[in-house]
Amino acid sequence: MTELLRIHRDAKGTSRWLEPVCERIRAMSARFDGNPEALVDDVWKQYAAKAPTLGLFVAIEDDQIVGHLLAFVRDWDGRWVGWIAQVEHDRVADRATVDGVIATLTDWIEQWNFSFATKGFRVDEMIFCTPHMHDAWARHSGFTDYRSIKIRKIPASRPS
């Protein structure tokens, strides 16, 4: 069975997973044309600062990493959201694993909401962007289409 652990400085024994999970984050970011070094640098900074906005999780089976999840609480379009930056599992996740991931993320957000309630901050939704399996995400985890993200590259240099 897959165990999903939050990697946090206050979570005893989880620091041993930080570096290998950061390597996975770096590799996934590179695969999808991200900026791996900037992303991993941000993860390290938030980890070092014990930032409650960092949701870094590792999926473990038989003391081996089989997946990871990277999320942040961030301001998006004028409201606070749980932004899921990366989800990766080394094989097809079964129903129990998907349900466990959703429950763990929900618990993390609920803890964040409890901690920041007196400051007027509240997260009511989780958002992510994916290049594939839109229908499967809706069917299996309750994520529905909200907006469509488009990209247009800016040329490095334009002739004068």
Domain parsing of the chain, residue ranges: 3-141
Kindly state the average pLDDT of the residues 48-61: 96
Kindly state the average pLDDT of the residues 54-70: 96
**pLDDT over 90 percentage in the chain:** 66
Q: From residue 152, how far is each of 39, 61, 65, 155 by CA, in Å?
A: 21, 40, 35, 9
Question: What is the value of pTM for the model shown?
Answer: 0.86
pLDDT band, very low/low/confident/very high, at 142 (cuts 50, 70, 90): confident
Q: What is the dihedral of CA 8, 25, 139, 105, to 10 degrees?
A: 10
pLDDT band, very low/low/confident/very high, at 31 (cuts 50, 70, 90): very high
Rounded CA separation 66/57 (Å): 11
Q: For position 159, what pLDDT does the model report?
A: 62
Contact 40, 19 (CB under 8 A): no
pLDDT band, very low/low/confident/very high, at 125 (cuts 50, 70, 90): very high
Is the CATH number of domain 3-141 3.40.630.30? yes
Rounded CA separation 71/15 (Å): 17
